Homo-oligomer: A and B are copies of this chain.
Amino acid sequence: MKIVLDAMGGDYGPSVTVQGGIEAIKDYGINIIFTGDSDSIKKELEKYHYPKENVTIVHCDEQINNDDSPVTAIRRKKNSSMVVGLNLVKEKKADAIISAGNTGALLAGGLFILGRIKGIDRPALAPVFPTTNGASILIDGGANVDCKPRNFLEFGIMGDIYAKKILGINRPKVAIVNIGIEEGKGNSVTKEAYKLCQTGEFNFIGNVEARDIPSGYADVVIADGFTGNIILKITEGIASTIFDELKDMFTKNILRKLAALILKPGLKEFKEKLDYSEYGGAPFLGVQGNLIKAHGSSDAKAIKNAIRQAKNFVENNVLEGITREIMKLEEGKFE
């Protein structure tokens, strides 16, 4: 299996991506194609011992930055590590691509270079959301800020397959985020989407209120990309605020510092449980290729986990699963 890693993407560039890639080669025995500045990549590679035959470098003399305009960057920077990587997947020279670079550019690149799966109107980002009893999938995490009801049905189909094939959930519970659980609640889009999702060939359990997401009420949580993105970001904000406040509290006097010392392993374990980087990145589902967006601030572990996730996508034929289910839906139209 060959996986492209955009070596230039992310806040830390090759120093982190190369380390993550090498660790993944050692642990999973896959092949990595690094795209990016070959001198920088080679310099980093020198730090490690690894099976040389598992590494390919494709030199690119351009790079897409975080402040580049997404569509323009994809169109103009033809020799960037991201565009070259996407083309390798398109030309079937690689099975998947991971990038921690400019999110907008990566999504635009997914749409323009890889293209949509026939029947999918809106490919969507599907990050994993840690819950008290494991993890849920949130789809759409931010790719489509304005959605039609039909998009919710597509999100349900794609999320269902992801949850089955990657999270190993037998019959995933799929729900729409809404302001109440009853049918008829919500805005004009979610009301229509509810009816449409009832026709979907997945275990649609209705609406989920946002307060029940963290306890894992649903395995697949459907939302438009605006709402989905706000759910992710407020969660990040609340969790980090609570941790900051706890830290302040724990260091207020010597006795509390002692207590905090006792609780340290527990707190660490707890923080890890909430750590999304354990789950890799967010796949961009609905495009014709395995494309994983890793968080911009990914460390080597997060990169490695995103590679593991890409490997799981390839091995479990997620792409074929989505293509098949969407085809069924399209055929159903003419029955």
Contacts and interface: CB of A to CB of B under 8 A. Distances in A.
Interface string A129-144: 0011000000000100
Contact of A187 (B132, B145, B246): B145
B263 A259 contact: yes
Contact of A211 (B214, B233, B242): B233
Interface of A: 131-132, 142, 145-146, 177, 179, 186-188, 190, 209-215, 224-227, 229-242, 244-246, 249-250, 252, 255-256, 258-260, 262-263, 266-267, 269-270, 273
A188 B146 contact: yes
Contacts of A273: 245
The copy count of this chain in the complex is: 2
22 contacts: A132-B241, A145-B186, A145-B188, A146-B187, A146-B188, A187-B224, A187-B226, A210-B232, A210-B233, A211-B233, A211-B240, A212-B237, A214-B238, A215-B237, A234-B235, A239-B242, A249-B267, A249-B269, A250-B263, A256-B263, A259-B260, A259-B263
B258 A270 contact: no
A236 B284 CA distance: 29
A293 to B, nearest CB: 15
Nearest to A235: B238
Nearest to A267: B249
A63 to B, nearest CB: 21
Contact of A237 (B214, B224, B246, B262): B214
Nearest to A132: B241
